[in-house]
Protein backbone atom coordinates (compact mmCIF):
# COMPACT_ATOMS: atom_id res chain seq x y z
CA UNK A 1 0.00 0.00 0.00
CA UNK A 2 1.23 3.47 -0.88
CA UNK A 3 -0.07 6.88 0.11
CA UNK A 4 0.99 10.35 -0.99
CA UNK A 5 0.28 13.64 0.71
CA UNK A 6 1.01 16.86 -1.10
CA UNK A 7 2.07 19.97 0.79
CA UNK A 8 0.99 23.00 -1.27
CA UNK A 9 3.33 25.90 -0.59
CA UNK A 10 3.72 27.43 -4.05
CA UNK A 11 7.27 27.02 -5.28
CA UNK A 12 8.18 25.29 -2.00
CA UNK A 13 5.57 22.53 -2.52
CA UNK A 14 6.54 18.90 -2.02
CA UNK A 15 5.16 15.40 -1.74
CA UNK A 16 5.30 13.00 1.20
CA UNK A 17 5.53 9.39 -0.05
CA UNK A 18 4.47 6.79 2.50
CA UNK A 19 4.62 2.98 2.25
CA UNK A 20 6.32 -0.11 3.66
CA UNK A 21 9.49 -0.80 1.66
CA UNK A 22 9.47 2.63 0.00
CA UNK A 23 13.00 3.31 1.28
CA UNK A 24 14.20 1.24 -1.70
CA UNK A 25 12.54 3.76 -4.02
CA UNK A 26 14.29 6.76 -2.47
CA UNK A 27 16.63 7.17 -5.45
CA UNK A 28 13.76 7.21 -7.94
CA UNK A 29 11.70 9.59 -5.85
CA UNK A 30 14.73 11.92 -5.57
CA UNK A 31 15.15 11.77 -9.35
CA UNK A 32 11.56 13.03 -9.66
CA UNK A 33 12.53 16.32 -8.01
CA UNK A 34 16.34 16.67 -8.23
CA UNK A 35 18.92 16.55 -10.99
CA UNK A 36 21.70 14.01 -10.39
CA UNK A 37 23.85 15.68 -7.71
CA UNK A 38 25.92 15.07 -4.60
CA UNK A 39 23.92 13.94 -1.59
CA UNK A 40 25.19 13.96 1.97
CA UNK A 41 23.24 11.35 3.95
CA UNK A 42 23.20 12.38 7.62
CA UNK A 43 22.21 9.76 10.18
CA UNK A 44 23.07 8.85 13.77
CA UNK A 45 24.80 5.96 15.49
CA UNK A 46 21.48 4.11 16.01
CA UNK A 47 19.98 4.51 12.56
CA UNK A 48 23.14 4.66 10.41
CA UNK A 49 24.19 1.04 10.97
CA UNK A 50 20.66 -0.14 10.10
CA UNK A 51 19.77 1.89 7.02
CA UNK A 52 22.59 4.15 5.76
CA UNK A 53 24.22 1.64 3.39
CA UNK A 54 20.87 0.68 1.90
CA UNK A 55 20.00 4.36 1.46
CA UNK A 56 23.35 5.15 -0.17
CA UNK A 57 23.14 2.19 -2.59
CA UNK A 58 19.65 3.16 -3.62
CA UNK A 59 20.66 6.79 -4.28
CA UNK A 60 23.78 5.71 -6.20
CA UNK A 61 21.73 3.35 -8.38
CA UNK A 62 19.63 6.38 -9.36
CA UNK A 63 22.72 8.36 -10.40
CA UNK A 64 23.48 10.38 -7.25
CA UNK A 65 26.98 10.75 -5.79
CA UNK A 66 26.67 9.88 -2.13
CA UNK A 67 28.69 10.78 0.96
CA UNK A 68 27.72 9.92 4.50
CA UNK A 69 27.98 11.52 7.92
CA UNK A 70 27.04 9.90 11.21
CA UNK A 71 26.57 11.79 14.48
CA UNK A 72 26.25 10.23 17.95
CA UNK A 73 22.65 9.28 18.77
CA UNK A 74 20.97 11.52 21.34
CA UNK A 75 19.73 15.06 21.78
CA UNK A 76 23.23 16.34 22.66
CA UNK A 77 24.13 16.07 18.95
CA UNK A 78 21.56 18.73 18.10
CA UNK A 79 24.13 21.44 18.76
CA UNK A 80 26.17 24.14 17.03
CA UNK A 81 29.50 22.26 17.47
CA UNK A 82 28.02 19.23 15.68
CA UNK A 83 26.62 21.45 12.91
CA UNK A 84 30.07 22.97 12.57
CA UNK A 85 31.56 19.48 12.04
CA UNK A 86 28.87 18.78 9.46
CA UNK A 87 29.70 22.03 7.59
CA UNK A 88 33.34 20.83 7.42
CA UNK A 89 32.18 17.46 6.11
CA UNK A 90 29.93 19.18 3.55
CA UNK A 91 32.88 21.24 2.29
CA UNK A 92 35.25 18.27 2.20
CA UNK A 93 32.88 16.11 0.14
CA UNK A 94 32.27 19.00 -2.27
CA UNK A 95 28.62 19.88 -1.71
CA UNK A 96 27.56 22.83 -3.86
CA UNK A 97 24.38 24.89 -4.35
CA UNK A 98 22.77 22.06 -6.35
CA UNK A 99 23.59 19.37 -3.80
CA UNK A 100 21.27 17.82 -1.25
CA UNK A 101 21.28 16.73 2.35
CA UNK A 102 19.25 13.61 3.18
CA UNK A 103 18.17 13.44 6.82
CA UNK A 104 17.93 9.73 7.68
CA UNK A 105 16.69 9.24 11.23
CA UNK A 106 14.37 10.51 13.93
CA UNK A 107 13.49 14.02 14.99
CA UNK A 108 16.97 14.93 16.20
CA UNK A 109 18.60 14.04 12.87
CA UNK A 110 15.79 15.72 10.92
CA UNK A 111 16.17 18.99 12.82
CA UNK A 112 19.97 18.93 12.74
CA UNK A 113 20.41 17.89 9.09
CA UNK A 114 17.56 20.25 8.19
CA UNK A 115 19.43 23.12 9.84
CA UNK A 116 22.58 22.13 7.94
CA UNK A 117 20.66 22.19 4.64
CA UNK A 118 18.95 25.47 5.56
CA UNK A 119 22.21 27.30 6.25
CA UNK A 120 25.00 25.71 4.18
CA UNK A 121 25.67 27.96 1.15
CA UNK A 122 22.55 29.94 2.22
CA UNK A 123 20.37 26.88 1.73
CA UNK A 124 20.58 23.67 -0.30
CA UNK A 125 18.13 20.87 -1.08
CA UNK A 126 16.80 18.81 1.80
CA UNK A 127 15.23 15.35 1.64
CA UNK A 128 13.64 14.03 4.80
CA UNK A 129 13.75 10.26 5.38
CA UNK A 130 12.18 9.87 8.84
CA UNK A 131 12.65 6.57 10.70
CA UNK A 132 10.84 7.32 13.98
CA UNK A 133 7.08 7.66 14.28
CA UNK A 134 7.44 11.14 15.78
CA UNK A 135 9.55 12.29 12.82
CA UNK A 136 7.14 10.65 10.34
CA UNK A 137 4.04 12.39 11.63
CA UNK A 138 5.56 15.64 12.82
CA UNK A 139 9.12 16.90 12.46
CA UNK A 140 9.85 15.75 8.88
CA UNK A 141 6.90 17.80 7.58
CA UNK A 142 6.51 21.56 7.74
CA UNK A 143 10.04 22.87 7.42
CA UNK A 144 11.04 23.60 11.00
CA UNK A 145 14.76 23.03 11.52
CA UNK A 146 16.76 23.83 14.64
CA UNK A 147 19.58 23.13 17.03
CA UNK A 148 19.69 23.59 20.78
CA UNK A 149 21.75 26.07 22.79
CA UNK A 150 22.96 25.36 26.33
CA UNK A 151 20.23 27.86 27.38
CA UNK A 152 17.35 25.93 25.80
CA UNK A 153 15.99 23.68 23.10
CA UNK A 154 15.45 24.76 19.48
CA UNK A 155 16.65 28.31 20.16
CA UNK A 156 18.52 28.59 16.83
CA UNK A 157 16.74 27.52 13.70
CA UNK A 158 15.13 28.33 10.42
CA UNK A 159 12.16 27.42 8.26
CA UNK A 160 13.44 25.32 5.36
CA UNK A 161 10.98 23.06 3.56
CA UNK A 162 12.22 19.71 2.24
CA UNK A 163 11.99 18.94 -1.49
CA UNK A 164 10.64 15.52 -0.67
CA UNK A 165 9.72 13.30 2.27
CA UNK A 166 10.07 9.51 1.97
CA UNK A 167 8.47 7.67 4.88
CA UNK A 168 8.84 3.92 5.24
CA UNK A 169 6.77 2.49 8.13
CA UNK A 170 8.80 -0.75 7.89
CA UNK A 171 11.70 1.14 9.49
CA UNK A 172 9.55 1.42 12.64
CA UNK A 173 10.18 -2.28 13.32
CA UNK A 174 13.56 -1.32 14.77
CA UNK A 175 12.18 1.50 16.96
CA UNK A 176 12.25 0.87 20.74
CA UNK A 177 8.79 0.45 22.26
CA UNK A 178 8.82 3.64 24.34
CA UNK A 179 9.88 5.74 21.34
CA UNK A 180 7.13 4.19 19.26
CA UNK A 181 4.49 4.95 21.91
CA UNK A 182 5.85 8.50 22.19
CA UNK A 183 5.17 8.93 18.46
CA UNK A 184 1.61 7.68 18.97
CA UNK A 185 1.04 10.62 21.33
CA UNK A 186 1.47 12.98 18.36
CA UNK A 187 -0.93 10.80 16.32
CA UNK A 188 -3.58 11.21 19.03
CA UNK A 189 -2.87 14.96 19.01
CA UNK A 190 -3.83 15.30 15.33
CA UNK A 191 -7.09 13.47 15.97
CA UNK A 192 -7.89 15.62 18.98
CA UNK A 193 -7.17 18.99 17.38
CA UNK A 194 -8.45 18.45 13.88
CA UNK A 195 -9.76 14.98 13.00
CA UNK A 196 -12.45 13.16 15.00
CA UNK A 197 -12.31 10.35 12.38
CA UNK A 198 -8.60 9.77 13.04
CA UNK A 199 -9.16 9.67 16.80
CA UNK A 200 -11.97 7.12 16.36
CA UNK A 201 -9.74 5.02 14.09
CA UNK A 202 -6.98 5.01 16.70
CA UNK A 203 -9.44 4.11 19.48
CA UNK A 204 -10.87 1.25 17.43
CA UNK A 205 -7.56 -0.26 16.36
CA UNK A 206 -5.28 -0.07 19.39
CA UNK A 207 -4.06 -3.67 19.11
CA UNK A 208 -3.11 -3.36 15.43
CA UNK A 209 -1.39 -0.06 16.11
CA UNK A 210 0.61 -1.53 18.97
CA UNK A 211 1.52 -4.47 16.68
CA UNK A 212 2.84 -1.88 14.18
CA UNK A 213 0.60 -3.12 11.36
CA UNK A 214 2.22 -1.51 8.33
CA UNK A 215 -0.94 -1.01 6.25
CA UNK A 216 -2.68 0.68 9.16
CA UNK A 217 0.42 2.75 9.90
CA UNK A 218 0.57 3.89 6.27
CA UNK A 219 -3.04 5.11 6.56
CA UNK A 220 -2.55 6.70 9.96
CA UNK A 221 0.71 8.47 9.05
CA UNK A 222 -0.91 9.78 5.86
CA UNK A 223 -3.88 11.06 7.88
CA UNK A 224 -1.56 12.86 10.30
CA UNK A 225 0.51 14.34 7.47
CA UNK A 226 -2.68 15.50 5.74
CA UNK A 227 -3.68 17.42 8.88
CA UNK A 228 -0.22 18.87 9.29
CA UNK A 229 -0.05 19.82 5.59
CA UNK A 230 -3.38 21.64 5.85
CA UNK A 231 -2.25 23.60 8.90
CA UNK A 232 1.20 24.44 7.49
CA UNK A 233 -0.33 25.51 4.17
CA UNK A 234 -2.52 27.98 6.05
CA UNK A 235 0.29 29.27 8.27
CA UNK A 236 3.78 28.21 7.21
CA UNK A 237 5.66 30.40 9.71
CA UNK A 238 3.49 29.96 12.77
CA UNK A 239 1.93 33.39 12.82
CA UNK A 240 -1.40 31.92 13.91
CA UNK A 241 -3.14 28.62 13.12
CA UNK A 242 0.05 26.53 13.26
CA UNK A 243 0.07 27.10 17.03
CA UNK A 244 -2.67 24.46 17.33
CA UNK A 245 0.03 21.85 16.65
CA UNK A 246 1.35 22.75 20.08
CA UNK A 247 -1.70 21.22 21.81
CA UNK A 248 -0.35 19.48 24.92
CA UNK A 249 3.10 20.95 24.35
CA UNK A 250 2.88 24.00 26.63
CA UNK A 251 2.69 21.91 29.79
CA UNK A 252 4.65 19.07 28.13
CA UNK A 253 7.67 21.28 27.45
CA UNK A 254 7.55 22.67 30.99
CA UNK A 255 7.50 19.18 32.54
CA UNK A 256 10.38 18.10 30.27
CA UNK A 257 12.32 21.15 31.31
CA UNK A 258 11.77 20.70 35.04
CA UNK A 259 12.84 17.05 34.66
CA UNK A 260 15.95 18.38 32.86
CA UNK A 261 14.96 16.32 29.78
CA UNK A 262 15.74 13.13 31.67
CA UNK A 263 13.39 10.30 32.37
CA UNK A 264 10.61 11.49 30.05
CA UNK A 265 10.52 11.34 26.28
CA UNK A 266 9.03 14.32 24.47
CA UNK A 267 5.95 12.34 23.37
CA UNK A 268 5.41 11.09 26.91
CA UNK A 269 5.48 14.65 28.26
CA UNK A 270 3.09 15.71 25.49
CA UNK A 271 0.75 12.88 26.48
CA UNK A 272 0.56 14.26 30.03
CA UNK A 273 0.25 17.77 28.58
CA UNK A 274 -2.72 16.72 26.46
CA UNK A 275 -4.57 15.28 29.45
CA UNK A 276 -3.91 18.59 31.26
CA UNK A 277 -5.10 20.63 28.26
CA UNK A 278 -8.22 18.47 27.97
CA UNK A 279 -9.03 19.08 31.65
CA UNK A 280 -8.46 22.83 31.16
CA UNK A 281 -10.75 22.66 28.13
CA UNK A 282 -13.54 21.26 30.33
CA UNK A 283 -13.18 24.25 32.69
CA UNK A 284 -12.56 26.99 30.14
CA UNK A 285 -14.35 26.00 26.93
CA UNK A 286 -17.05 23.66 28.22
CA UNK A 287 -15.62 20.50 26.67
CA UNK A 288 -17.82 17.65 27.90
CA UNK A 289 -16.05 15.83 30.74
CA UNK A 290 -16.52 12.48 28.95
CA UNK A 291 -14.33 13.73 26.08
CA UNK A 292 -11.47 14.50 28.48
CA UNK A 293 -11.85 10.99 29.91
CA UNK A 294 -11.85 9.59 26.39
CA UNK A 295 -8.56 11.34 25.52
CA UNK A 296 -6.98 10.11 28.74
CA UNK A 297 -8.17 6.54 28.06
CA UNK A 298 -6.86 6.35 24.51
CA UNK A 299 -3.44 7.62 25.59
CA UNK A 300 -3.34 5.17 28.45
CA UNK A 301 -4.35 2.24 26.17
CA UNK A 302 -1.42 3.13 23.93
CA UNK A 303 0.93 2.70 26.90
CA UNK A 304 1.51 6.41 27.40
CA UNK A 305 1.75 8.17 30.78
CA UNK A 306 -1.27 10.28 31.67
CA UNK A 307 -0.07 11.48 35.09
CA UNK A 308 2.84 13.84 35.64
CA UNK A 309 5.78 13.12 37.91
CA UNK A 310 5.35 14.47 41.47
CA UNK A 311 6.50 18.03 40.82
CA UNK A 312 5.50 21.22 42.61
CA UNK A 313 3.15 23.39 40.58
CA UNK A 314 5.24 26.51 41.27
CA UNK A 315 8.22 24.91 39.60
CA UNK A 316 6.26 23.71 36.58
CA UNK A 317 4.45 27.06 36.28
CA UNK A 318 7.85 28.82 36.26
CA UNK A 319 8.98 26.67 33.35
CA UNK A 320 5.72 27.33 31.44
CA UNK A 321 6.38 31.03 31.80
CA UNK A 322 9.72 30.88 30.04
CA UNK A 323 8.52 28.88 27.03
CA UNK A 324 9.82 30.83 24.01
CA UNK A 325 6.41 30.77 22.35
CA UNK A 326 4.79 32.78 25.15
CA UNK A 327 4.08 36.18 23.61
CA UNK A 328 3.82 39.42 25.54
CA UNK A 329 4.48 37.65 28.83
CA UNK A 330 1.06 35.98 28.83
CA UNK A 331 0.84 32.20 28.45
CA UNK A 332 -1.59 31.32 25.68
CA UNK A 333 -2.93 27.77 25.75
CA UNK A 334 -4.22 25.65 22.91
CA UNK A 335 -7.48 24.08 24.10
CA UNK A 336 -10.38 22.24 22.46
CA UNK A 337 -14.08 23.11 22.41
CA UNK A 338 -14.82 19.62 21.05
CA UNK A 339 -12.71 16.84 19.55
CA UNK A 340 -11.49 18.25 16.24
CA UNK A 341 -12.04 21.89 17.25
CA UNK A 342 -8.86 23.40 18.63
CA UNK A 343 -8.70 26.99 19.78
CA UNK A 344 -5.45 28.82 20.24
CA UNK A 345 -4.63 31.86 22.32
CA UNK A 346 -6.68 30.79 25.36
CA UNK A 347 -5.77 32.65 28.53
CA UNK A 348 -6.43 30.66 31.70
CA UNK A 349 -6.67 32.00 35.25
CA UNK A 350 -3.82 31.01 37.55
CA UNK A 351 -6.17 29.41 40.08
CA UNK A 352 -7.66 27.18 37.36
CA UNK A 353 -4.19 26.11 36.23
CA UNK A 354 -3.11 25.18 39.73
CA UNK A 355 -6.36 23.37 40.54
CA UNK A 356 -6.08 21.38 37.29
CA UNK A 357 -2.47 20.41 38.07
CA UNK A 358 -3.54 19.11 41.48
CA UNK A 359 -6.37 17.18 39.84
CA UNK A 360 -3.96 15.71 37.28
CA UNK A 361 -1.60 14.57 40.03
CA UNK A 362 -4.52 13.06 41.88
CA UNK A 363 -5.43 10.84 38.93
CA UNK A 364 -2.40 8.63 39.56
- Cα 262 to Cα 315: distance, rounded to the nearest angstrom: 16
Closer of 44 and 111 to ligand GLY (Cβ): 111
SS3 (DSSP) at 324: coil
131-150 residues near ligand GLY, rule: CB under 6 A: 138, 142, 144
Closer of 171 and 246 to ligand GLY (Cβ): 246
Q: What is the total count of residues that contact ligand GLY (CB under 6 A)?
A: 6
Q: Is 257 a catalytic residue?
A: no
- C-beta separation of 163 from 29 below 8 A: no
- C-beta separation of 48 from 70 below 8 A: yes
- Cα 360 to Cα 282: distance, rounded to the nearest angstrom: 13
State the minimum distance, in angstroms, from the CB of residue 198 to ligand GLY: 17
Q: Is 256 a catalytic residue?
A: no
Q: Is 6 a catalytic residue?
A: no
Q: Is 17 a catalytic residue?
A: no
- Cα 294 to Cα 304: distance, rounded to the nearest angstrom: 14
State the minimum distance, in angstroms, from the CB of residue 264 to ligand GLY: 17
Q: Which residues contact 98 (CB under 8 A, 6 or more apart)?
A: 35, 37, 124, 125
245 contributes a contact to ligand GLY by CB under 6 A: yes
Identified binder of ligand GLY from the candidate list 163, 189, 194, 242, rule CB under 6 A:
242
Listed ranges 16-24, 76-84, 206-214, 237-245: which one lies at the site for ligand GLY (CB under 6 A): 237-245
SS3 (DSSP) at 90: helix
Tell me the CA end-to-end span of the chain in Å, nearest whole number.
41
State the minimum distance, in angstroms, from the CB of residue 99 to ligand GLY: 25
H or E stretch including 102? strand 100-105
Closer of 70 and 111 to ligand GLY (Cβ): 111
Q: Interface with ligand GLY by CB under 6 A: which residues?
A: 138, 142, 144, 238, 242, 245
Tell me which residues are annotated as active site: 122, 144, 186, 228, 238, 242, 246, 249, 253, 266
Amino acid sequence: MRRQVHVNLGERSYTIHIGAGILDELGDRCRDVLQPCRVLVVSDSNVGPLYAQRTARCLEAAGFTVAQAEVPAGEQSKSLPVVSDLYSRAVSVGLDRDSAVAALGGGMVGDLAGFLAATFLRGINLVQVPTSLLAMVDSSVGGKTAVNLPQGKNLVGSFHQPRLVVTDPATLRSLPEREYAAGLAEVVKYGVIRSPGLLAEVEGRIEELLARDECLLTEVIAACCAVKAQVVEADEREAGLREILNFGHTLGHAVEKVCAYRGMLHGEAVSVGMVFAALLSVEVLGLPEREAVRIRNVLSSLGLPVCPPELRWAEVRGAVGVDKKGRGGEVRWVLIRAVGQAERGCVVEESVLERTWVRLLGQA
